[in-house]
């Protein structure tokens, strides 16, 4: 028996719950003895740091932990590369906490866990980081040129991947053209603004060596695999639950944001549930943006308007 969906109305099952206020979002989750986290983020586009002094923050009553990259240990290895293009020259991904160098404004440097979010944010202001700012790559075209400031010091170029896709005889097409139209198109960066920002709640059961994570992810199964690997736990011991998600637009499908690892790490470390909810400013600087692209396009055409071929070199 075949069920046709295209062109047929499909009954929505979630509407009654959402419209009557019975939806459950991440911030609706309340667990006994729950602690709250806040993230210290880089104010610099590129800088090195050799010292993080969290003494004053830890001395604040109600602060339970300040976690840095050194505390994470092997959990702070780079996240998986989600692209198998053979053209990769310098494949690089982010880490949960910056290991001595920040590469963008908003990069996570430390996590504070306290009795309340208010207290955690107060503690952020007490952490001292000795930043040494450096020249940053801020323009896409300029960053791809030789001699540009490097995002990753262990590379010789900011070009991560060179890949080509060819169909047909493009040289013959341009040779036969009556004219060639050239354009540069720049689809600009954008930032998704879902009504609900990102959030994570985690609870660790030491007796069973299991952890439950409530996450505003659009890909809970994939997130579970990465989190389990980073925490050194079997996948069967990690449960990731995506409750009602208040909008995503792709920003919540990225695999895996730092907080999705940091919050369960803190919950296991402290033996108490931990919650983190992104505020709106954090969403602008701590969540992925849609990328800027620069397309340099050439169109080979005849006088009657037939398109013979297209070249597109894009960053």
1 pLDDT band (50/70/90 cuts)?
very low
The b/e string for 221-254 (b: 16+ C-beta within 10 A; e otherwise) is ebbbbbbbbbbebeeeebebebbebbebeebbeb
Please say if the pLDDT value at position 8 is more than 70: yes
Residue-wise pLDDT for 85-121, tens only, equals 999 999 999 999 999 999 999 999 999 999 999 999 9
Are 68 and 52 contacting, i.e. CB atoms less than 8 angstroms apart?
yes
Please say if the pLDDT value at position 81 is more than 60: yes
Residue-wise pLDDT for 136-171, tens only, equals 999 999 999 999 999 999 999 999 999 999 999 999
Q: What pLDDT does 251 receive?
A: 92
pLDDT, mean of residues 190-217: 96
| C-alpha to C-alpha distance for 267 and 271, rounded to whole angstroms | 6
Share of the chain above pLDDT 90, in %: 89
Q: What pLDDT does 255 receive?
A: 78
275 pLDDT band (50/70/90 cuts)?
very high
Please say if the pLDDT value at position 3 is more than 60: no
């Amino acid at each position: 028996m075949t069920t046709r969906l295209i062109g047929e109305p499909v009954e929505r099952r979630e509407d009654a719950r959402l419209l009557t206020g019975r939806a459950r979002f991440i911030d609706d989750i309340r667990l006994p003895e729950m602690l709250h986290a806040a993230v210290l983020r880089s104010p610099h586009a590129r800088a090195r740091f050799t010292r993080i002094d969290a003494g004053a923050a830890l001395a604040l009553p109600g602060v339970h932990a300040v976690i840095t990259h050194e505390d994470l240990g092997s959990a702070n290895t780079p996240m998986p590369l989600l692209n198998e293009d053979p053209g990769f020259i310098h494949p690089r991904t982010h880490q949960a906490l910056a290991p001595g160098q920040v590469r963008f404004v908003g990069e996570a440097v430390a996590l504070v866990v306290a009795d309340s979010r208010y207290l955690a944010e107060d503690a952020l202001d007490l952490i001292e980081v000795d930043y040494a700012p450096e020249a940053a790559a801020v323009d896409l075209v300029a960053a791809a040129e030789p001699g540009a400031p490097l995002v990753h010091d262990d590379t010789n170029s900011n070009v991560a991947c060179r890949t080509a896709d060819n169909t047909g005889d493009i040289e013959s097409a341009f040779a036969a053209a009556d004219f060639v139209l050239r354009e540069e198109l720049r689809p600009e960066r954008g930032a998704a603004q879902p009504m609900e920002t990102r959030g994570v709640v985690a609870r660790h059961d030491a007796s069973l060596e299991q952890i439950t994570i409530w996450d505003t992810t659009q890909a809970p199964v994939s997130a579970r695999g990465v989190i389990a690997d980073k925490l050194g736990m079997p996948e069967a011991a990690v449960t990731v639950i995506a409750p009602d998600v208040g909008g995503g637009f792709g920003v919540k499908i990225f695999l895996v944001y730092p907080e999705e690892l940091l919050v369960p790490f803190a919950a296991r470390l402290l033996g108490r549930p931990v919650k983190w909810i992104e505020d709106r400013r954090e969403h602008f600087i701590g969540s992925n943006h849609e990328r800027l692209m620069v397309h340099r396009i050439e169109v080979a055409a005849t006088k009657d308007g037939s398109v013979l071929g297209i070249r597109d070199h894009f960053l």
